[in-house]
Amino acid sequence: MHHFEYRDGVLSCEQVSLAKIADEVGTPFYCYSSATFLQHLEAYKKAFSGVDSIICYSVKCNGNLAVLNTLSKAGAGADIVSGGELFRALKAGVQPGKIVYSGVGKTPEEIRYALEVGILMFNVESPIEMITLNRIAGEVGVKAPVAIRVNPDVDPRTHAYISTGMKKNKFGIAIERALVEYRAASEMGNIEAIGVDCHIGSQITELEPFADALVKVKRLIRTLREEGQDIKYLDIGGGLGISYDDEVPPTPMEYGEAILGVVGDLGCTLILEPGRSIAGNAGVLVGKVLYTKEGEEKRFLISDTGMNDIVRPSLYDAFHGILPVIEGGDLRLADLVGPICESGDFIAKDRVLPALEQGELFAVMSSGGYGFTMSSNYNARPRVAEVMVSGDKYRVVRRRESYEDLISGEIIPEDI
């Protein structure tokens, strides 16, 4: 259950009508269900309850402070990929000792920041990054705790843009070379190798790629230990998919059983980095039809929300379910498009959709992950409001941007 359902004919989040929020906040807006976030986090905690584990929620998926705080208070840590995400996580109350830092392009300033606040671990992506980390750790006067992100060359069978574990991807170090790099790290005075990291992609709907990757990682960990390296942590990444359309992804419990069946006997503390599977179905994007247009070949629903607010359909040709906020009505073949001046600005194309008319509201389902975090100000459009619902109450947890926000930080120089 994702806590979005019709109540008295009106689509609601938990006990709050989306029509009520639209009337009071305006459209477009993202709406999140706190109960759904917590329900999905609890499913992971239950699936891995038999072993030491830390659930480091992936901040890039949805980094709203209210979301991070909700999950942190329930025991979650954070997986970050930038200094900005570290700042967000700390402001939201995430404990530094539950934060892992991933990503291929950590700047020296970001590395220093993370060392100074005392995060759990860096997931190192290249030999030169390790050298840089060693140097900065020496300047700070600490030992940097690291895992090397190994690339197992496993096909995750997902969209090419969100596949990360194959040789042709930019992420990680080839697993065949990882042993050499761990040996090199052991000779560095300011590095402490405490873990191994492996993340193969996102929106994965089969268990076999995870298991295949971890078989290789398990062999590496055993070899490292035989050489005297004290590997305490295994970061298995994230990537478990959700149902956008007709996908039937594994449940967290099935995922846990598969993972523990391979690495449950290693004695490592497992680090998980779920994002989409916690946030995706915990949010929707609510918009309004501005105009209907009968084209020569198809009908268009022109809305007040588009690719600047939710880029996944344009970027990945991704599917999102579309529901009318007011239940019922006919269905018609149409394109749901936005106001952006791009032919690629669509939310749904060539789909049988609710036959909405001017002024009517709709919800873009499964938008809680990689929705607002990927939004932009393209066409000088202010970013939308974000709303969090808990039971029968809601709060605006990020106000809608104003035109003044669009030019904040800009100047017109007088001397050029």
Write out the catalytic residue numbers: 341
Residue 306: partners with Cβ closer than 8 Å, 6 or more residues away: 337, 338, 339, 340, 345, 346, 347
Q: How far apart are CA 75 and CA 54, in angstroms?
A: 9
Listed residue (38, 32, 29, 27) closest to 13, CA to CA:
32
Residue 212: partners with Cβ closer than 8 Å, 6 or more residues away: 152, 154
Tokens representing residue 204 in the block: 């994965």
φ and ψ at residue 288, rounded to 5 degrees: -135, 145
Q: How far apart are CA 206 and CA 203, in angstroms?
A: 9
Tokens representing residue 371 in the block: 């929705």
Q: How far apart are CA 289 and CA 338, in angstroms?
A: 9
